[in-house]
Each structure stands twice: as structure tokens, then as C-alpha cells.
Structure 1
């Protein structure tokens, strides 16, 4: 097992404490996790992989009784933690320890800002940036099983083996481009989003929630709370207990009888089909709430053809900005961000808030261009459908021949 060093497999608290001191002494380390999330309320942490310039290691959380030394070094603000696509790993840290690492580098984000594309898989990024082919083939592994095969252990270590080298290369590139502070801002925003995420308000983000009236929102809130408590009590995934679409259907239909409830599509096949009385009681309690105590309606905007066309126009302008500056479009903004910008503009650009696309580093990339397009000061012109970018943005001048905008 040449790819797996003899001291890499950490299975005792003593070994973990020694490793944690090595990580702290290095001042920075690569970090990744393997977990199973399909069968339980919270993910089962199965492996923790780390790397310093001098050491590779895999921690077995199923055997190490106390992971405290690992969490302590992760939360040390003097230590930099390098990851790839860090969102899920940060959530695991929060679930396991109550906190997230305060100082991170995410090479996937760095790559998007450095012109490598976004979101790139780790193997793709390693190949593009370092010219190294990383073998895969273990993505469907049940990481709870022991012993793990040499291929599985090698795969696990490959997830951290090249991260520090990637971070060094990408940081140098970002520094050269003057974008290192952009990346650091994005890392801070990512950490903050994980820290403040309130799972109890998750129901507000359910697809289609804007279709509900205030009574429907109260039903959805109560059903979501019940679902969360029951899923946690029985240790199964939220959606396995009650699917989002069925929860929304109940909140929208507001059934008051067994007949009404069982008339809903798929209800009889759902895990809650045996709890008709409980579901009806939740609906009845929600309907009894006085109007002044009901949730405020979810902000809703009509999305007619005019908005769709405007989004498409701005999307082309945004793509143009990103292409000219060598930044991944998908990292800069989404259609939701463009819609938010359009609404802000049509509402008179209120000063109490700023859309993401005109603030921070995104504002530097595209903010003024998008505002000029919205205000009619810039027009799009197709230059060459085969070129990148295929369009030009020209200032609108009365009776003058358009020229290329800077």
C-alpha cells in the first residue's frame, strides 16, 4: 500500500492528539470528510482526511472516542484550513462541534476567480492546474464499512493530497490578478452563511412556499416543525418522513377531514399516512391562530415574459463581463441574483439594501455594466457568434456611431 503511509491511519485518542499538534504546528492543513447522509437525520461522519506539507492522515471517527482535539485545531484562528467545495464539510463541522473553522481557503472558489472555471471537480481541477490525473471509482463507497480497501484509503487521501499545492498555485495567481481579497471575502461569506443558518426557518425556503396564504404558511411552519422533531426522534431524513411537495400540498389544500387529506396525491403512500389524526390536528391548530399572529406572507414577484427577457439580456451582459475578465460566470451570479437586481432597479434603487451583483467584488466585476444596461446607457451588439465573448457592449449615443465600451 505504497500510497498509504504506515502512520496515516488514526484510531486512538493518543494518536489524534499527536496529529492535532502536528497540524497546529504546521499552521495550515488540508481537510476533507467522508460521510453517509442518505439514511439518517444527521450525516454519519465516517472519515476525516488531513494533510500538511509533511504528512497525510486519515482519522477514523467510528473508532476514536473523542474528536475534540481535531475540532479544537480546526477552530484555531491561527490555523488555515484548505478545502475543496467546502460547504458540506463546514456543515459537518457545525453539526459535530457546534462551530465552523474561522479561517478557510476553498480551492474551488479560488479556481473560479482565477479563470479555471466553476464549479470544477477536484480531479478536474488537479488535472487542469497541476497536470496530474487522479484516479476515482470510490464515490459510491459505504464509508462505514471496515476494513477499508487500499483503493478506498488511497481515494480518501487523494481528496487532500494535492490541496495545499493547489492553494499555493491559485493564491499566487489571484495575487497576480489582484483578486486575493475577493477570494478571502467569499470564504468569509461562506463561513458566515453556515454559522448563521437557522434550520428551524428552513420551511421559509421550501420550493413553492410563496404560493401559500398566511394560514397556509402557518400550517407549513407547524408541519415542518413536527417533521423535524419526528425525523430526529426516529433518526431518518426529513424528506423520507414527509416530502417537501406533500407538505406544501397539505398547507395549500388545508384539509379538515380524513377524506380531504387522503385525496391528496401520494398521501396514502407516504410514511405519515398512518398519522391522519395528527396531521389534521396540526392543520386545525394552525387555522385557529388569530390573523395578527400568522406569519407574514413570503415576498412574491410575478415572473412574466418581460422579466424573463430582461434576465436573459442581463445574463448575456454578465457573461460578457465574466468572459473578458476570466472569471467563472457561475461563481459571480445566478438568475435569482439578476432578478433581485432588476427588482431593486425598478423599485428606485432603495439605499437600505444593495443586491449582491452591485456590491463587493461582484460589483467590481459587473455592477456598473449591468446598471448601465438596465438604464439604457449600454446596448448589446452581436460581434461574432463564434467568438468568446460573442457580443460587445456599446454606449447608447443619439445620432452617433456606437463604439466599443471599455
Structure 2
């Protein structure tokens, strides 16, 4: 296979000239390299764009005007091809203030093509192109300058090989009739990246929160609100402020002094030194929340008696996946099981969960609900 022609873009004028060429294409490949060890937002180290045998390496450390590039990302006439694109999308959003439109995720495409679910880039290229891609630069320092020749080659080949794999995936999806379903999942991922966590609701992501009483939940909510908002404002990773595993303990114990903090095993001494006083302030603030404003406790685990229903849902999803010619992971029963069963426990009937849209409603959920209701499960067996 031929090798890519590499072009470096280190000035605004060079980038604008390249964008003019990209705007004439029907599709292009994209990838990013970044650092994110201690920050909330990814720090871009390199952006790669591929068209045919040409690869452009954009240096975000020297480019200051992203206007033309953003317009290219927002051009609905150009398909932007990426692999496992969620982190790339997040970087583009932070860098440009926008999310790309008309995207094609090759990892999702590989699943619809029947190759594998959550397939890594190296395996994808090996499967489709019979090429072994080195992983040697995966954890490189992409903010270092100059980049090594090895880093440059690694970054360029990422989008170069992706450009060779993309037409094969398009052909596979069209042959199986899954192009529209794949496009829908890609659009859903864009929507997911574009939806920020509400800091007031961040506490809901804490494991075992259902075990806390409402007063403890008020403290947990305050801690999570502080952690989420400050991480964004200071551009620090959430765990630099307070590790996720300590939040539940903090809300349950509600420490009052630095000595109390040191008794919580999930808190490291470094965290106590850096954030201890702030954590104590947030615990105190949460304790001041009036009773009418305490959060509603979340639902706990489902009772064991629903296990026959769970088994029936899993069995139906597996069967339906086989009928549709899909990998079973593309019909994720866990996503719907909780809401389906909680509704059934209240009304003795399975109904369509709220806010569910897309092809899975007609192809899976509606026939599954009809099937489940025909089985006449007994709630008190």
C-alpha cells in the first residue's frame, strides 16, 4: 500500500488554504491527539485530516484562528469519518465551540457490519486491510515539540488507513441495509456529547446513592455540584478535587474536621491537603439545606422476583438481534430493563419507556412489550 503525503499546518493562512481544498470533498477522515491527565478539558496536541493519499497535520499549539476549520466541520455536505469518535467530538467542541455534523463512526460501523462490538482501531485495520498498526505512540506526549518522526508517522497513518477502510465499511452497511440505523446512532452520539451533565444532578451518578437517607443525599448533591462546577471552572479533572469513590463516604460520614477526613480511606492525603478545607465547607453547606429541598431518594435495586422478567427480556433481545442479523450488543437490554420493570411493578403492565426514540422502538421495543405482556408474569410468585 502507498504511504501518505504529509503536510504540516502551523499557520492560520496555511490552515485556511487547506480548508478550501477540504470543502470540495465529499468525505474526509479526522483524528486528534491530546493530553488529559490532570485537566477537565482535553488539551489538543495534534489534529489530523486525511483526503486520499494526503494527510494534513494541524498544530493546535500555533494555530489561533479556527473559523474556517469550524465551517468545514459544520458543512453537512462533507462526511467526517472518525473511529470511536466521542473524545474527538469533545475536543472539537471545546476547541471550536461547535460539534461536527454528518459524522461516520467506523467503530459503530464495524458493529453493524458484524465484525465486532467496540472494535479497536488496530483490530479494525487488521481485519479490513490486513495491516498491523503499531501501538507504540498511543501514550506519547503530544504537547512536546518537535514531535518525533515516529509520532508523526503514527498520527498520519491513523487517518490514512481509516480512509482506506471507510469505503469497505460503507459497502458493508449498504449491503446489509443498516446505513440509516448506523447514521442514527452516530447522530445520537453527537447529541450525547453535546449534552452537559447538570451539576445539580451529578449526584445521581454516584454508586449506591440509594442507600443514603434524604439528608445525606442533600450533602451528596452539594459535594457533587461543587466538584462538577469547579472542575469546569478551574479546568481540573474531577478526581483532582475529590475522587469519585469518596463522595458516598463523605455524604454518609459528613466529616467536620481534617482529622475526620483522614479517617475516610477513600480519600488520599494529597486530596486532603489540596481540597480538604473546601470539602468540609461543602459538607457543611449541604447540611444547611432545608428539609423541603432534600433530594428525592433514587429507586433501589429491583426485587429478586423480577428475575424471570429479566431473563425474558434478555432472551427476546438476543432472539431479535439474530432475526435482524445484528450483533446482540446493538440491542442493549440493560438500557431498558430498569424502566420496563419498574413500570410493570407499578401497573402490572409493560409499557414503552419514556424518551426512547429511533429504529429500536419499532424493531425491538414494541414487539418485545407485546411479547412480555402475553406472558402474564406474576409479581408475587
Q: Do both share a fold (TM > 0.5)?
A: yes
1:223 aligns to 2:206 (yes or no): no
Contact 1:104 1:187 survives alignment (8 Å): yes
The 5 A counterparts of 1:265-344 are: 265-267=265-267, 269-273=269-273, 276-298=276-298, 300-308=299-307, 310-344=309-343
Tell me if 1:28 matches 2:27.
yes
Partner of 2:49: 50
The residue that corresponds to 1:367 in the other structure is 365
User: Which structure 2 segments of 5+ residues have no match?
Assistant: 377-381
Match in the other structure for 1:185: 184
SS at match of 1:133: coil
CA, structure 1 residues 352+248, in 2 after alignment: closer, same or farther (shift >3 Å)? same
Is the 8 Å Cα contact of residues 317 and 369 (structure 1) preserved in structure 2?
A: no
8 Å CA contact 2:53, 2:160 repeated in 1? no
5 Å matches for 1:91-130?
Answer: 91-130=90-129
Aligned-pair RMSD on alpha carbons?
2.9
Q: SS in structure 2 opposite 1:25?
A: coil
1:389 equivalent in structure 2: none
Give yes or no for contact 1:117–1:327 (8 Å, CA) kept in 2: no
Gaps of 5+ in 1: 379-406
1:295-336 deviations in whole A, cap 9, x for unaligned?
3333x1323433456434533442333244332222321534
> What CA distance in whole angstroms lies between the structure 2 residues aligned with 1:266 and 1:179?
46
Change (3 A) 1:79 1:347: farther
Partner of 2:208: 208
- d(CA) in 2 for partners of 1:252, 1:92: 36
Compared CA separation, residues 207 and 301, structure 1 to 2 (3 A): closer
In the alignment, is the contact (CA less than 8 A) between 2:312 and 2:372 conserved in 1?
no
The equivalent of 1:138 in structure 2 is: 137
Aligned equivalents of 1:54 and 1:136: distance in 2?
Answer: 22
Which segment drifts farther, 330-339 or 20-29? Answer: 330-339
The Cα shift of 1:229 comes to 4.8
Give CA deviations for 1:162-196 in whole Å, capped at 9, x if unaligned.
Answer: 33443322223222322211111111111111112
Closer, same or farther in 2 for the Cα pair 1:307/1:74, shift >3 Å?
Answer: same
Judging changes above 3 Å, is the alpha-carbon distance between structure 1 residues 91 and 334 closer, same or farther for their aligned structure 2 residues?
A: farther
Q: Which residue of 1 aligns with 2:166?
A: 167
Give how far 1:81 is off.
1.0
What is the TM-score of this pair, normalised by structure 1? Answer: 0.81
Asked if the contact 1:11/1:60 (under 8 Å) is kept, the reply is yes
Q: In structure 1, the residue corresponding to 2:174 is in which secondary structure?
A: helix
1:39 matched to 2:31? The reply is: no
How many residues are paired up?
374
SS in 2 for 1:162: helix
Structure 1 Cα separation of the partners of residues 311 and 297 of structure 2? 28
Secondary structure of the structure 1 residue equivalent to 2:65: coil
Q: Return the alpha-carbon distance in structure 2 between the equivalents of residues 170 and 66 of structure 1.
A: 34
SS at match of 2:139: coil
How far apart, in 1, do the equivalents of 2:184 and 2:267 lie?
45
